[in-house]
Amino acid sequence: MKKLVIAIDGPAGAGKSTVARIVAQCLGYVYIDTGAMYRAVAWQALQSAKPTAETIAEIAAAGNIELTYADGKTSVRIAGKDVSEAIRTPRVSNMVSEVAQIPAVRQHLLALQRRMAESGGVVMDGRDIGSHVLPNADLKIFLTASIDERARRRWLELTAKGYQIDLGQLKTDIACRDKKDCERKTAPLIQAEDAVLIDTTQLSINGAVEAILKLCEQRS
Ligand code: C5P
52: domain CATH number is: 3.40.50.300
pLDDT for 98 beyond 90: yes
Quick check: is 150 in a domain? Answer: yes
Q: What is the largest CA-CA distance in the chain?
A: 51
205-218 confidence digits (pLDDT tens) = 999 999 999 999 99
Report the nearest-CA residue for atom 14 of ligand 1: 35
Q: Rounded to an integer, what distance in angstroms lies between the CA atom of residue 22 and that of residue 97?
A: 26
Domain for residue 220, yes or no?
no
Is residue 197 a contact partner of residue 184, using CB atoms and an 8 Å limit? no
Q: Pairing relation of β-strands 139-144 and 5-9?
A: parallel
Binding-site entries for ATP: 10-18
User: Does the residue 39 lie in any domain?
Assistant: yes
User: Quick check: 21 pLDDT over 90?
Assistant: yes
pLDDT, one tens digit per residue, over 118-172 is: 999 999 999 999 999 999 999 999 999 999 999 999 999 999 999 999 999 999 9
Alpha carbon of 1 to ligand 1 centroid (Å): 31
CA of 97 to the centre of ligand 1 (A): 7
Domain that holds residue 28: 5-214
Q: Is residue 20 part of a domain?
A: yes
- The tally of domains found in the chain comes to 1
Name the strand (E) or helix (H) holding 214: helix 205-219
Q: Concatenated DSSP letters for 178-212?
A: HHHHHH-SSS-S---TTPEEEE-SS--HHHHHHHH
pLDDT at 52: 96
